[in-house]
Amino acid sequence: MFKKAIVRTPGKSMVNGISTAGIGIPDHQLALRQHASYIEALKACGLEVTVLPADEAFPDSTFVEDVALLTKECAIITNPGADSRRGETAAMKKILQNFYTNIEEVHEPGRVEAGDIMMVGEHFYIGLSERTNQQGAAQIIGFLQKYGMSGSVVTLEEVLHLKTGIAYLEKNNLLACGEFLAKPEFQKFNILEIDNNESYAANCIWVNGTVIMPQGYPKARKTIANAGYPIIEVDVSEYKKLDGGISCLSLRF
Ligand code: CIR
């Protein structure tokens, strides 16, 4: 169960965020309203939400998930693969000192964005992507082992981050799309398949029994509902324009 979440309000500079989506420039005012709904969804799942102010110096800083990995035992500050995002970690480290006594940090040449890390109980799957390298993954695994947890690497080719294409929904259920459907390491899970034409909905979060998912993906919604989960849909269209999804917008712990 999660008790808390951290989010960061998107700044006006989000219009300069990294994007490959090719579906337009985000509307800041609409993004703010969507962010407020996202916070309400987290609260409805019982979380106490810390809302950090916008940081205009970092256009992608609303995607807080990438700059830290939070576990039961420790917080690990990452070292983002995107150079423009590396400076986001300093502020997050300060914030996390209010919540954690054990804080570790990924250092060069290791690069990690925690959108590439999926938690399944005490084990963490780490995607090797354009943002997360082998050295970074090895450092993460070392920190996890120090605190009695474990990690393993997963290769990925098609998506930005590991969790762009999969989401663990607890109870052995794994939401998966595209290249992840056939990965040998995931065959032990009950795979809930997301259609390629709704691939954006493979990025959902399980929060204390409820699944928070993006609005507008009826087939995915049906799949998740059929698996027995209550669902909260949130419109995150403005974040999709920056390649970001539901999980990227919060740290949950
Ligand atoms: C980026 O490219 O870094 C941001 N525009 C989107 C980050 C999305 N984060 C995530 O998937 N965890």
131 lines ligand 1 (CB under 6 A): no
Mean pLDDT of 14-35: 98
User: Residue 162's closest CA among 202, 106, 205?
Assistant: 202
From the alpha carbon of 161, which atom of ligand 1 is closest?
11
Reported confidence tier of residue 39, pLDDT bands at 50, 70, 90: very high
**Alpha-helical segments (H) within the chain:** 28-44, 88-96, 134-146, 162-165, 218-226, 237-240
User: Residue 96's closest CA among 11, 6, 35?
Assistant: 6
45 classed as catalytic: no
Residue to probe by mutation, ligand 1, list 6, 63, 132, 161, most atoms within 8 Å of CB: 63
User: Residue 13's closest CA among 62, 78, 86?
Assistant: 62
59 lines ligand 1 (CB under 6 A): no
* pLDDT of 80: 98
Mean pLDDT of 66-93: 98
Q: pLDDT digit string (tens) for 108-132?
A: 999 999 999 999 999 999 999 999 9
233 lines ligand 1 (CB under 6 A): no
Mean pLDDT of 66-72: 98
| Token representation of residue 220 | 């995915």
CA of 26 to the centre of ligand 1 (A): 14
For tokens 């690069």, the residue is 111
CA of 228 to the centre of ligand 1 (A): 29
Residue type present at position 193: E
Tell me the three state secondary structure of residue 114. helix
Residue to probe by mutation, ligand 1, list 113, 119, 239, 250, most atoms within 8 Å of CB: 113
Mean pLDDT of 28-43: 98
User: Residue 50's closest CA among 106, 2, 121?
Assistant: 2
* pLDDT of 79: 98
From the alpha carbon of 113, which atom of ligand 1 is closest?
12
Mean residue pLDDT across the chain: 98
CA–CA distance, 5 with 227 (Å, rounded to integer): 25
Set 35, 45, 74, 161: catalytic member: 161
* pLDDT of 3: 98
21 lines ligand 1 (CB under 6 A): no
% of the chain with per-residue pLDDT over 70: 100
Residue to probe by mutation, ligand 1, list 7, 20, 248, most atoms within 8 Å of CB: 248
Cβ contact 84:60 at 8 Å: yes
161 classed as catalytic: yes
* pLDDT of 246: 98
Q: pLDDT digit string (tens) for 52-63?
A: 999 999 999 999
Set 74, 177, 204, 248: catalytic member: 248
Mean pLDDT of 99-104: 98
Q: pLDDT digit string (tens) for 141-184?
A: 999 999 999 999 999 988 999 999 999 999 999 999 999 999 99
Q: pLDDT digit string (tens) for 173-228?
A: 999 999 999 999 999 999 999 999 999 999 999 999 999 999 999 999 999 999 99
Go through the domains of the chain in sequence order and give each one's CATH number. 4-252 (3.75.10.10)
Mean pLDDT of 3-11: 98
* pLDDT of 168: 98
CA–CA distance, 110 with 80 (Å, rounded to integer): 9
* pLDDT of 86: 98
